[in-house]
Amino acid sequence: MSDTKDATLTPGIRRLHEGMARVWANPAGLGALTVVNHTSVGLRFMVTGAVFFLIGGLLAMLIRTQLAFPDNDFMSHETYNQVFSMHGTVMMFLFAIPILEGVAIYMIPKMIGARDLVCPRLSAFGYFCYLFGGIILTSSLVLEMAPSSGWFMYTPLSSGDYSPGRGSDFWLLGITFVEISALSAGVELVVSILRTRTEGMALHKMPLFAWYILAMALMIVVGFPPLILGSILLELERAAGMPFFDVAGGGDPVLWAHLFWLFGHPEVYIIFLPGAGIVSTLLPVFARRPIVGYGWVVAAIVIMGFISFGLWVHHMFTLGIPQLALAFFSAASMLVAIPTGIQIFVWLSTLWLGRPVMSLPMLWIVGFLVIFVLGGLTGVMLALVPFNWQVHDTHFVVAHMHYVLVGGMLFPLMAGLYYWLPLVSGRMPSERLGKWSFWLIFLGFNVTFLIMHWTGLLGMRRRVFTYDSAMGWDIYNLISSVGGFMMSAGVALLILDIALHFRFGRKAPQNPWNADTLEWAMPKPPTPYNFVSLPRLETRHPLWDDPELPRTITEGQHGLNTIDHGRRETWGSDALTGKLREVVHLPTNSWWPFFAALSLAVVCICLLVRLYPLAGVATLVAAVFLLRWSWENGAHPKAAPDATVAPGQPPLHSRTMNGPGVWTMSVAHLANGSFYLSLLFGWFYLWTVAPEWQMPETSPLSLPLLAGAGLALTLGSAWLAKMVRRLRRHNDSGLGGGMYLAAGLGALQSALLGLAIWQAGLAPSETAHDATLLVALAYVLIHALLGALLCLLQGLRVGYGFVGAEAPLEPVVVLRLWYYNLVVYWSLFVAVWVMPTLLGGAS
Amino acid sequence: MKRLLRMAHPIHLVVGPTIWGLWFVAIYAGLSVACSVAPPTPEQGMLTGINIAVGLATLATTVLLLGLSWAGVTAARRAGLHRECYFAFTSAGVYLFSAGATLFIGYPVVFLPPCI
């Protein structure tokens, strides 16, 4: 059903719908590459993720075919190494995270009563980074040069000496590229949830799914940068010989393990939380009562988000860490069972106190409960150090991991798929085919992985490509392989079901499951603008409390129901109370995200084939595209040149000083800060732990140059802060000149810092000390250049009239970057100059 | 800024786990550095400066978190708005969990030597 075809609408309302459809239109053909709308981008993420799931599944079947019989020569060991490495990599990085991001990107605005995410072009950019990164990574399989060191790429196995081919480079560059996508989604989901909820939707009234996604997005923002740093360092080691992980050069391979698992363990919860969010959304609908203990669930989400960062060493119990430290991580690993347990008891209580109905989505939820609880129990077993030592790197761990991830993510995802399918297609799913598919997958999964616990306990190591019949593992492996193929048959049936659904599914009613959340107030399939008018909501169950909402929304009876201005708009609201603060005007379809991602893909490929000059050129091109993209903002003719709003409405966000852009910059700096702290961790870790670390007697860096650069940065920040204070008083006299002065100070900082690096005469390919120092200094230099460049652009924008007393937001955003640079610069100065000078060449 | 200090502000949902996180990083990093720079002899058993320092940090953090949990309960009882009551109570629960987590994780200093 489309809004505009509704015969009951008055001509005026029909014109409103038509106007909305025109302003929010998605172009077809080649123009589809410019689409930025969250519904389209979310669907693209999900469909692409599903394709990668099939590729990962195919690789899994190759593994099970190889292991089905002893002494099998179906694959060589080289091929097997590539296949299992790519299976893990594809499933974790190209399927699990992106498809859940896709669900979040698609659902969140619909559930919180917004028309789009807060940075639609960033969504599109993220998607193309994901697509190109995924293609680059999987192309390594076709080229028979896929990574073969396992999905966590432990050094030194993945280093140049032991993996001299291009496989590790494909992984390091491809994954880093894909992670740009994850970070983009993470940042904008956080800001969208906090700042674009519909009027009245206070923080404690928003749907639980939004809480789960908020936690997931924040965890992505904080958790992914350590791996990005690790990947950059390892690629620098492989390509330029910088010995970060080479003991002889003063590095330490265990640093990689720390950086990887600092990301890798939270990643498990990043995957689980959206799954649990789907369960907490669906289960009350089918129990036909509100969830028991909303506050308990919120507390459990927060606790889980934090505790999951304190478990990373439990993947490293066999690395020779002191027993007391092992005990800390063992205890933390057991503790995470408490917030998980809270959620499970909340779900059981909701079922117990409700009037549950068993339908297809609910079947998948029950499957989830069974499998995930079993996976959680073996997780607590693995938290015990002595047991962990016994089963480390065996098939027991493989079985546990699949119980947690497939149980915690795939089953809820399937429940969500069947639940929200009517929203996407306007048709109901087939119960019969869906049930067949469920039982084949559920039984196939348990036949495969329950047995695998035994195989592991009998001593079968993970990643062995074959085994001798005398080991006694034959029958267990054969059963696991049969189960694997049974599961594949279930997946095939599921694909058939979905394909038939869009052609033969019966029409869905307005609210087919009698759900309580706002997305079911929308037309089906959804229009690009979601809601023609945005309702005021002060309840957690809008559709249960007001079943007339779909009609009143469609009739334009609520807020933001004008389109004459031609802008894409949604509400900007207070993060805590949901009171209206701004009208957020959203950017429209654009080629810039596509071109920026494409040029970054060229950078990635050039680095892969070691064409460094071309990589440099492509980086410059990407920077030009990104900056050109940023130009269309604020009062720019393609953004919002006319600031007029309807009477009674708050101002446009670009005409305020605390719009979502400020929040976006702050959340982006959380990610940036996580990257920087990981770098500092690396510096101190190698300094204190690496056996061959060489700290020079005196710092190679010139104090006058470093102090001069710091002074320029401090003066520039103070100057910029002064201009922002004047803008708050609506005084923009001398703003353009002031911006050029700040840009000059940023340029001076960059020049002095560049000179300090050049004068230091570092030998980064000889010692880990010099290599780490160079990376840290390059990091602050890039930030200094960026700060200067953005001020220069601001000066130009003031000249064009895009920024000023009437459009004061952008200088506030740029000031955040300068403050960040200030903190980073001086803390790094203490870490790399003051402390080594005071402590001397201690190690 | 003053607003953030009120126990009914949702920022307190994350303050407890953040304190826990800082304590956790401090004891792990401190233990690692101390064992690298000046490891005590194995004969000393648990009676080492490292264990005592970690133990004291654990107790201090636990007491702080328990105090904040109690402050949350008090604020919830006095809250005028449902929203304030909700966030104060939920934060109190998270503080209480963080206190328990601190004590549970730090407890092994009583029976394990630090650097073996």
CA distance A374 to B50: 38
Q: What's the length of chain A?
A: 843
pTM of the model: 0.95
A822 and A763 in a common domain: yes
Query: Is residue A35 scored above 90 in pLDDT?
Result: yes
Q: A76, A74, A77: which is closest to A64 by C-alpha?
A: A74
Last residue of a domain, one of A450, A476, A504: A504
Query: Is residue A373 scored above 70 in pLDDT?
Result: yes
Tokens of A643: 């600031």
Q: What pLDDT score does A178 carry?
A: 94
Q: Please classify residue A11 by burial: count the beta carbons closer than 10 Å to its beta carbon, then call 0-12 exposed, 13-18 middle and 19+ buried.
A: exposed
Enumerate the residues of chain B whose CB falls inside 8 A of the CB of residue A688: 32-33, 36-37
Q: Which residues pair with A584 in a beta bridge?
A: A570
**For residue A10, which phi and psi values (nearest 5 degrees)?**
-75, 160
Q: What pLDDT score does B5 carry?
A: 76
- Mean pLDDT rounded to a whole number for chain A: 94
Give the model confidence (pLDDT) of A733-789 as tens digits: 999 999 999 999 999 999 999 999 999 999 999 999 999 999 999 999 999 999 999
Biggest alpha carbon–alpha carbon distance for chain B: 59
Which CATH number fits the domain that encloses residue A733? Answer: 1.20.120.80
Q: Residue B1 carries which DSSP code? A: -
Q: What pLDDT score does A1 carry?
A: 42
Q: Which residues pair with B68 in a beta bridge?
A: none
Q: A211, A79, A27, A139: which is closest to A609 by C-alpha?
A: A139
Q: Please classify residue B110 by burial: count the beta carbons closer than 10 Å to its beta carbon, then call 0-12 exposed, 13-18 middle and 19+ buried.
A: exposed
A620 and A475 in a common domain: no
CA distance A676 to A670: 10
CA distance A526 to A529: 8
| Closest B-chain CA to A325 | B28
Pick from A310, A313, A328: which is nearest to B21 by CB?
A: A310
Would you call the peptide bond into A811 cis, given omega within 30 degrees of 0 as the criterion? no
pLDDT band at A12 (very low <50, low <70, confident <90, very high): confident
Pick from A202, A203, A322: which is nearest to B35 by CB?
A: A322
A676 and A610 in a common domain: no
A202 and A314 in a common domain: yes
- Residue pair A666/A816 in contact by the 8 Å Cβ criterion: yes
Q: What pLDDT score does A842 carry?
A: 45
Which CATH number fits the domain that encloses residue A249? Answer: 1.20.210.10
pLDDT band at A290 (very low <50, low <70, confident <90, very high): very high
Query: Is residue A3 scored above 60 in pLDDT?
Result: no
Q: Please classify residue A642 by burial: count the beta carbons closer than 10 Å to its beta carbon, then call 0-12 exposed, 13-18 middle and 19+ buried.
A: exposed
CA distance A619 to A729: 39
Inform me whether the C-beta atom of residue B115 falls under 8 Å from chain A C-beta atoms. Answer: yes
Chain B closest-CA separation from residue A124 CA (Å): 31
A612 and A472 in a common domain: no
Last residue of a domain, one of A504, A528, A554: A504
Sorted by sequence, the CB contacts under 8 Å of residue A787 that are 6+ apart come out as A713, A716, A746, A749, A814, A817, A818, A821
Pick the residue of A302, A330, A574, A577 with the most B CBs within 10 A to test the interface with B by mutation: A302
A103 and A11 in a common domain: yes
Give the model confidence (pLDDT) of A376-413 as tens digits: 999 999 999 999 999 999 999 999 999 999 999 999 99
Q: What pLDDT score does A644 carry?
A: 85
Q: What pLDDT score does A6 carry?
A: 63
Enumerate the residues of chain A whose CB falls inside 8 A of the CB of residue B104: 331, 335
Chain A closest-CA separation from residue B91 CA (Å): 8
A491 and A616 in a common domain: no
Sorted by sequence, the CB contacts under 8 Å of residue A340 that are 6+ apart come out as A300, A304, A376
Residue A755 lies in a domain: yes
Q: Which helix (H) or strand (E) holds A328?
A: helix A323-335
- Residue pair B101/B68 in contact by the 8 Å Cβ criterion: no
Cβ B94–A689 below 8 Å, yes or no?
A: no
Residue A535 lies in a domain: no
Question: At which residue do the structure tokens 């970060």 appear?
Answer: A244
The number of domains in chain A is: 3
Give the model confidence (pLDDT) of A633-677 as tens digits: 888 888 888 888 888 899 999 999 999 999 999 999 999 999 999
CA distance A578 to A534: 13
CA distance A622 to A597: 8
Give the model confidence (pLDDT) of B82-91 as tens digits: 888 999 999 9
Query: Is residue A802 scored above 80 in pLDDT?
Result: yes
Give the model confidence (pLDDT) of A511-554 as tens digits: 999 999 999 999 989 999 999 999 999 999 999 999 999 999 99
A696 and A600 in a common domain: no
Q: Is A785 strand, coil or helix?
A: helix
CA distance A392 to A386: 10
pLDDT band at A2 (very low <50, low <70, confident <90, very high): very low
Q: What pLDDT score does B7 carry?
A: 87
Q: Is A394 strand, coil or helix?
A: strand
Query: Is residue A721 scored above 60 in pLDDT?
Result: yes
A692 and A607 in a common domain: no
Pick the residue of B12, B22, B28, B109 with the most A CBs within 10 A to test the interface with A by mutation: B28
Enumerate the residues of chain A whose CB falls inside 8 A of the CB of residue B27: 328
Q: Could you tell me where the DSSP H helices lie in A68-166? A: 77-89, 97-112, 120-142
**For residue A562, which phi and psi values (nearest 5 degrees)?**
-125, 155
B37-63: average pLDDT = 92
| Closest B-chain CA to A323 | B116
> What are the C-alpha distances in Å from A410 to residues A398, A438, A457, B66?
16, 11, 26, 38
Cβ A295–B90 below 8 Å, yes or no?
A: yes
A169-194: average pLDDT = 95
Cβ A306–B37 below 8 Å, yes or no?
A: no
A310-329: average pLDDT = 90
- Residue pair A303/B94 in contact by the 8 Å Cβ criterion: yes
pLDDT band at B80 (very low <50, low <70, confident <90, very high): confident
A114 and A69 in a common domain: yes
> What are the C-alpha distances in Å from A676 to residues A687, A689, A828?
17, 19, 9
Q: Residue A465 carries which DSSP code? A: S
Tokens of A150: 């396992």
A313-322: average pLDDT = 89
Residue A364 lies in a domain: yes
Percent of chain A surpassing pLDDT 70: 99
Enumerate the residues of chain B whose CB falls inside 8 A of the CB of residue A332: 24, 101, 105
Q: Could you tell me where the DSSP H helices lie in A1-96? A: 11-23, 38-67, 77-89
**For residue A193, which phi and psi values (nearest 5 degrees)?**
-65, -40
A420-440: average pLDDT = 94
Enumerate the residues of chain A whose CB falls inside 8 A of the CB of residue B10: 203-204, 576
CA distance A748 to A752: 6
Instruction: Domain of residue A657: give its range.
Output: 632-639+652-839
Chain A closest-CA separation from residue B75 CA (Å): 16
Cβ B14–A306 below 8 Å, yes or no?
A: yes
Cβ B13–A322 below 8 Å, yes or no?
A: no
Q: What pLDDT score does A843 carry?
A: 44
A65 and A211 in a common domain: yes
A619 and A732 in a common domain: no
- Residue pair A516/A283 in contact by the 8 Å Cβ criterion: no
Tokens of A313: 């060493």
Would you call the peptide bond into A156 cis, given omega within 30 degrees of 0 as the criterion? yes
Residue A443 lies in a domain: yes
> What are the C-alpha distances in Å from B102 to residues A266, A347, A766, B22, B50?
19, 28, 42, 11, 17
Sorted by sequence, the CB contacts under 8 Å of residue A695 that are 6+ apart come out as A687, A769, A836, A840, A841, A842, A843
Last residue of a domain, one of A451, A482, A504: A504
Cβ A204–B87 below 8 Å, yes or no?
A: yes
Pick the residue of B24, B62, B81, B98 with the most A CBs within 10 A to test the interface with A by mutation: B24
ipTM strictly over 0.85? yes
